Every structure is written in C-alpha cells, then in structure tokens.
C-alpha cells in the first residue's frame, strides 16, 4: 500500500491515479506514510462482510484497495467483463457474478499441480520465469 499511496510507479512520487480522490484520504488515514505496515484493510469497502458484486462496483469507481484489482479496470477485456455484471438486464438474463465466481473456483481447482521436475519453485515471487 505504501508504494501505491506515496510513491506510485511509474510516476515516482504521488499516488496511483486510479484511486478515487474521495477514497484516497481514507486510505492515507488508515495507512500513513511511516505507519504500521501490518494494518489490515477491508478489500471491499461498504460490503466487506458479504460476498457480492459490490467489489466490482468499487473497482469501477476507483475504490479498489488492491492495486491488482484496480488494474482490472484498465484493460478493455476485463473492464467489459466487469461492466457485463451491471447491465440492466443482467439480473434476469445476463451473467451472475456469484455463479461465475463459483464456476471459476471449481475450474481453478481442476488445474493440475506440477510436481517434481515438471514444475519449479519461484524463489522471487515478483519475478517472471
């Protein structure tokens, strides 16, 4: 959070421009520049105790806590998926975020785990292989 709030790359200094100017002061108050790095934040402001598409609304509106979530709105393809859940006919005929999420988790659970010499251990999580 510190880099995203106070030294956002590639801008060098300043905050991630994807953060709503209405949300930025709240984040900075919870995460001051030299504050406790172990502070916990709800990743879904306003709906943190419920699983629903509100997190997608937050992403669209610049209230994404995680940078990875905010980046979903930057890409045309992922932004289109997010927008599809807010189509006026979506609740009746369109996709359901909750159902799609369940199906994606089941699908991810079917991905084979690489073991032995077929896989590798990432020693630096932020580096690409």
- Please tell me the distance from the alpha carbon of residue 7 to that of residue 3, in angstroms, as a whole number: 5
Question: Any known ligand binding at 48?
Answer: no
Query: At CB < 8 A and 24+ separation, what contacts does 29-37 make?
Result: 31/1, 31/2, 31/5, 33/2, 33/5, 33/6, 37/2
Is 74 annotated in a binding site? The answer is: no
Question: Which residues are known binding-site members for Ca(2+)?
Answer: 44, 52
Question: Which residues are known binding-site members?
Answer: 44, 52
């Amino acid at each position: 959070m510190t880099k995203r709030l106070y030294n956002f790359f590639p801008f060098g200094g300043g905050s991630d421009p994807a953060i709503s100017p209405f949300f930025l002061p709240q984040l900075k108050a919870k995460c001051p520049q030299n504050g406790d790095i172990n502070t916990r934040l709800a990743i879904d402001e306003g709906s943190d105790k419920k699983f629903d598409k509100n997190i997608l609304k937050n992403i669209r509106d610049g209230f994404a806590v995680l940078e990875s979530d905010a980046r979903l709105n930057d890409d045309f393809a992922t932004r289109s998926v997010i927008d599809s859940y807010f189509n006026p006919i979506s609740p009746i005929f369109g996709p359901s975020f909750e159902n799609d999420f369940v199906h994606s988790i089941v699908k991810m659970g079917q991905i084979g785990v690489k073991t032995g010499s077929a896989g590798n251990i990432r020693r630096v999580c932020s580096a690409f292989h």
